[in-house]
Amino acid sequence: MKLETNAILLLVVVAVFMFLGSYFTMVVPLMDARLNAPSKDARPYTELEMKGRHVYQKEGCVYCHTQQVRNLLEETQRYGMGEEETFKRFGIRALIQAPPSQPGEFAYDQPHFLGTRRVGPDLARVGGKYDNTWHINHLRDPRSTSPGSLMPAYSWLFDKASQPTPDAIALVAYIQKLGTNYKWREEGVEQARKLQGISAALPFKEGKQ
């Protein structure tokens, strides 16, 4: 009752709670040194990748694509590598999940493009998933690589002869860098090789324990 009738007191109490709320949800996490430390494989962007990052920002890719793999099985599986991909690229059949995004991977991102809306798939682990030609074709005409795709064609990133402009080339360099601040493909394949080596060496008979 006292609070509801005394405006000054109410203001003071609201201000105190707002301060506490912001302090514990913003200031305390920001003091965590791990947030600013680059992850072990992180390296700054090259000039070309940085230029591509500006193109990504300018073209508004972030409106349809997030850059964060969350700690959910649906996401780590979906954005990981399937058997076909590991076989084609590393000569081994394995299912490798994409690790959830870690703060240290974003140490060189300013502003960050974590995003909030997924009209298209998440791009945090897309680097290395396709080759450069795939990306060029996809940007020129998304339907040519992904039938039924909703993504707009970025025709202004191509000249009259349908050749990629420097902006398109920079953009692809940037896309290929995404997710490589953690060498998860290489580490995952190495681990799978070890596991398969162990299971091949075990005397295992089907149907018997």
**Residue 158 β-bridge partners:** 164
Nearer to ligand HEC, 6 or 163 (CB): 163
Region of 15-23, 24-32, 93-101, 146-154 interacting with ligand HEC (CB under 6 A): 146-154
Q: Which residue from 115, 121, 127, 193 is in contact with ligand HEC, where contact means CB under 6 A?
A: 121
Q: How far apart are CA 68 and CA 124, in angstroms?
A: 5
CA–CA separation, 116 and 138 (whole Å): 23
Q: Residue 158, interface with ligand HEC (CB under 6 A)?
A: no
CB 116 within 8 A of CB 122: no
* Contact flag: residue 137 with ligand HEC (CB under 6 A): no
Letter string b/e over residues 51-83, b meaning 16 or more CB atoms within 10 A of that residue's CB? bbbebbeebebbebbbbbbeeeeebbeebbbee
* Secondary structure class of 96 (helix, strand, coil): strand
90 or 179: CB nearest ligand HEC? 179
Show contacts with ligand HEC in window 43-82 (CB under 6 A). 56, 59-61, 63-65
Alpha helices, H only, the chain: 2-5, 7-22, 28-30, 47-59, 73-78, 83-90, 132-140, 142-145, 166-177, 184-201
Q: Is 133 in the site for ligand HEC (CB under 6 A)?
A: no
Binding residue count for ligand HEC, defined by CB under 6 A: 22
Regarding 144 and contact with ligand HEC (CB under 6 A), the answer is: no
Q: Which of 76, 146, 183, 193 binds ligand HEC (CB under 6 A)?
A: 146
* Residue 115 binds ligand HEC, judged by CB under 6 A: no
Which one of the spans 20-28, 100-108, 143-151, 189-197 is the region binding ligand HEC (CB under 6 A)?
143-151
Q: Does 175 bind ligand HEC (CB under 6 A)?
A: yes
- CA separation (Å) from 186 to 69, 96, 173? 18, 10, 19
Site string for ligand HEC, 8-47 (x = CB under 6 A): ----------------------------------------
Q: Phi and psi for 16 in degrees, rounded to 5?
A: -60, -45
Residues lying near ligand HEC in the complex (CB under 6 A): 56, 59-61, 63-65, 119-121, 123, 126, 129, 142, 146, 149-152, 154, 171, 175
